[in-house]
Amino acid sequence: MENSHVKPSVRPKLALARFISVISRLAVLLIMMVVMSFLSHSFFTTNNLLNILRQAAPIFIIGAGQTVVILARGIDLSMDSVASLTGVIMATLMVDNKVPFYWSMLLSLGLGALLGLINGIIVTKIKLPPFVATFGTYLLFKGLTVLWIDGRVISGFSKDFTFLGAGRVFGIPFIIFIALLVYLIVRLLLRYTTFGRKIYAIGANPEASRVSGIKIDRIVIAAFVISAMLATFGSQLYISRINSAKEDFGEGFALDAIAATLIGGTSFDGGVGTIEGTVIGALIILLLRNAMNLLGVSGLWQGLATGLVIIIAVLGDTYLKKVAKKYEG
């Protein structure tokens, strides 16, 4: 369609502000890496860098889902329990029922899509604010997870399955390639399809989008489905890496995903943000954790750093936008 090639009309100074917002994050990432290389000898080693990428991969994957939803002015708090529920169901299918791993994964992805559909329908049809709706489904799915698994810890997965999260190809963790694939798909989706452009449009101005004929409900529901499926996929990779699943292993997924998205410069207001930003966001979170580990700072202080970075990143963006608006007059 012709529409898909139309660039959103952005005022030049604001576009510059957005450019600076991405570049500044990249700069922060690079500066952190340079400083760390001086501070710790074990930082700039292939092993350590691959380790950072390996750990950042699942955070990026769930963060990508959160980014799509936040771009459309939503938020998905149910990720924790979506991840737990689909994860434990996949695990029981594999271990208890001996279903081949690919079928189990597909079934659980399908279930994830269904859970996302529920989120989307509650948000668009019952018209609950996304924050309340997904908090409600968070509790609901959490309850279902507990009922399903009843306190068990499931382990003993097949080698084929654990390869996804823990295996290496040419010495590089396989999960990095998977994350790269997810990145390419989401980038394609957001930038080169009408669906992606509509997500940005809805986030920027829902009313204008509605008037111009975009079927908002469908797009928002699709965003929630994508988010839930990526949460599911992230949980599958996570289970594959640690080779066990229990009822609460998904706790914290949503927080990490939201953190990566916000640090990556996606506006909580919707309509502004890039998937590249979320890649950088996930990397900054992991780089911070890694740096603190190497410098011997207790891991307990990691949250402090993450929280500060979130607030500083968002403050910086708001300031940039304000300055840009001022010069535009």
Nearest to other proteins of 166, 292 (CB atom): 292
Interface ranges with other proteins (CB under 8 A): 75, 122, 126-129, 131-133, 135-140, 142-144, 146-147, 150-151, 247, 255, 258-259, 262, 268-269, 298, 300-308, 310-311, 314-315, 318
Nearest to other proteins of 176, 255 (CB atom): 255
Q: In angstroms, what is the minimal distance from the CB of 58 to other proteins? A: 19
What residues contact 40, with CB distance under 8 A and at least 6 apart?
Answer: 291, 294, 295
Q: In angstroms, what is the minimal distance from the CB of 88 to other proteins? A: 13
Nearest to other proteins of 173, 270 (CB atom): 270
What residues contact 102, with CB distance under 8 A and at least 6 apart?
Answer: none
On whether the CB atoms of residues 166 and 243 are closer than 8 A, the answer is yes
> Running DSSP on this structure, what letter comes out for residue 171?
T
Q: In angstroms, what is the minimal distance from the CB of 160 to other proteins? A: 31
Q: What are phi and psi of 77, to 5 degrees?
A: -85, -10
Q: In angstroms, what is the minimal distance from the CB of 260 to other proteins? A: 13
Nearest to other proteins of 136, 167 (CB atom): 136
Q: Quick one: how far is CA 37 from the chain centroid? A: 28
**Distance separating alpha carbons of residues 262 and 265, to the nearest angstrom:** 5
Tokens 């018209």, located at residue: 127
Nearest to other proteins of 78, 274 (CB atom): 78
The CA-atom distances, in angstroms, between 212 and each of 3, 205, 208, 329 are 13, 11, 6, 28
Q: In angstroms, what is the minimal distance from the CB of 269 to other proteins? A: 7
Nearest to other proteins of 104, 134 (CB atom): 134
Which helix (H) or strand (E) segment is 244 a member of? strand 244-245
